[in-house]
Structure 1
Amino acid sequence: MAIGVLSLLGFQLVDAAFVSHLGTQPLAAQSFTFPVTFLMIGIQVGLGIAIAALISRAIGAGEIERSRRLGSLVLFGGTAALGVLAVILWFARGLLFSQLGANAETLDLISPYWAVQLPANWLGAMLYFGYTLFRAHNNTKVPGTLMVLTSLLNLALDPVFIFGFGPVPSFGLQGAAIATVIAFFIGLVILCLRLSRENWLSLTELGPEIQRSTGPFATIAGPAMISQLMPPLAAMAATGLIASLGDQAVAAWGLQSRLETMSLMVVLGLTMSLPPWLGHCYGAGNWQRIRALTYIAFQAALVWQLAFGIVMALAAPWVAQGLAGAAAVQDGLVSLIRFMLPSYALLGICMLVVSASNALNWPFRAMLISFARLFVCYLPCVALGVWYGTMTSIAIGALAGNILAGLMAWITFRVSLARIDEAAAAA
């Protein structure tokens, strides 16, 4: 899953790198869409968390037929829900992006790009729901392989549609979205063919299953979606704050956002692969194994993020030069990389705690941790950095917010496990 996440997020970074050669304004226009794209991703991930938890618990408890009905519900219901959201976001584009700080000239660039990027996001959501079904059955090879395949397709198609090649005209910024649509569509066809070989779906007794599972689903999905919506909402707020410093600052922040998700590939791989495993253990009542799995995941996140962050901090000038064309954007990106990437070691701990809490039937606790991370720790520190007025101060503020969030999440998780031990001892 980490390899798949690396390739999937890598192609988003490649998108931004190609677009940066079109100029600062197209890159800024694309950067304004990132938080809204993350909004869609947050909703689909929230739905996927709930379904993966219910399916994995059903498998752990031996309820195989129920797991098949739940699989059918996530594929059909999730696809319909994200399609409706895409339509709403299209008609709200003017108000939405103007509120984020985009001027009239930037809005003119956003509209044709957004018209294609929204269908790409919807196809990506359909792929994600399919991936969730495989992960719930402890199969991470298929989604990981498809992530790599779609990323390679996007990498090959990006320069063709952005800059033009042979009979294909240059589509500019819109070409990045066209390449994503084609890559996701091919991946979706392969996923459907692979799903047809598995006996993981059932269309019988879906009505009674909806009645039975609505309550447990809402208990998990509601807080999980709120938790997943908080990062894009916080990203919108941060983008709006940074927009006060100009398009160059927004462009640097947008590139850093792509680097952030790519650098968290191991953590994101763990958040995808760990919850179904924990769900199986939860269904079987095996808390000793749950504790061992979570601590191994924490150690892996700390070691990887610290090592990767230090390397990237040392290589920041060369990375910025390869990603950004304008010198001012490069300077801002260097500061963001040097201060923010090492702090993702503690951010990774916080993300894993939230993911594990959803799998262990603590959805409201996960939601509260997500809220505290973003709106108590992260955004106030970033706002202080914006108030000071430099990209370095913004980077230092984000670093402080991530450190506070990681410590808060770790302490909360330790207390939760201690209460489980106390309850077991009392019993």
Structure 2
Amino acid sequence: MKRKLVAAIGAAAMMTGTAACGSGDDGQSADGGKKVTVWVMDGSAPEEWATALNKEFEAAHEGVTVEIKEQQWNGIQEKITTALSEDSPPDVIELGNTQTAGYAVTGGLADLTDLKGELNYDAWNKGMLPSAELDGKLYAAPWYAANRVVIYDKSLYADAGVKPPATREEWIAGLEKIQKSDEDVQPIYLPGQSWYVLAGFLWDEGGDFAVEDGDRWKGALATPEGEAAVSFYKELQSFSTAPEDTDEANPQQSTDVVPKGGVASWIGLGWEAAGAIEAIEKAGGTADFGYFPIPGKTADKPGKVFFGGSNLAVAERSRNKELAQEWLELATSEKWMKKYAEATQGGLLPNTPDAQVRPEPGSFAEAMVKAADVGHITPVTPGWANVETEPNPIKEYMTKVLKGTEPAKAGEEADEVITERINKS
């Protein structure tokens, strides 16, 4: 998760803690009391929320202080890996949800399995939970997540007589109508390598990028489910003039494409919607976007979506492990997750549905929350990070199919790479 995602939702005052230059310290404050050091990513913790949370924790723990140290996403994996191997790591660390398993397998994270009751485990969002576990043990607590929705230009939809769809069939019919109504309008901007979007279609079909095969993993794109998912993606992409060999960041769709006009809809995150609005208004225009969940096969539930987000974990070598665990329990409790959702104006999904605040009607957050029950993450295994390394075989698979290669053949080629990478230690 990037800082821009949080900024987009309107959390005006973000944490301004001092960036850490090392890892942790000796676990003591300047006056000799105990100190809990928490690493959070740039923009993840609204200042008001963090200040109030720490005040309550410190009041309940005489002589204990909490120090928040803000980190940058760039280079964070290497920094955390180094910190967890040292004798004085930070006590609590924010981890990307797809990265957590990789840190857990090294032994760097404390086993929280015995704390499930204290952590309100049974109430957590079922789509976020898998990222916090590995081999039946709990190594983190879900903190927040967000997902993509369809962002559309209200005026262009209205001109074509199209309303937000409830099913894939209605979605395609609407795009066809827009295409026929104005040849200068792109019904949807969809780059060929938006693999997080493909992920949702794949999960809708009952498939996945990789599946367990005994004590190993194997790629699973050369399957009927993979073919169905990429075929639907190809149908959607046929309504777009976006490049077949780039993702949504190259060029950046929200600031380099949409503000130029002529785009009836696109799929993006909250920070992208905000970025497009800002760019349009800066150029003297007016943005009037509407939002709807990515449609599913039937109207009873939206399409599945990738949950991008973060977990909070305790370092195994923490000098103040018990205090760190108690801070984690408080920070991820229903009370403080509700306050977190309020601080981010409903624009991030808290770890429990009970803490979700009611988003503003017609907002991006409202559309995002509608898909909160169908969120998924990529395969939970330490080797998944190797799969995402460029050149990403999933992206290459998508481009090959869009350019005419049979899905089965392209899938076999991608599966070979996925299988080799995902089983690397």
The bucket for the TM-score relative to the shorter chain is under 0.3
TM-score (ref. length: structure 2): 0.27
Hey, which of these two has a bigger chunk of helix by percent? 1
TM-score (ref. length: structure 1): 0.27
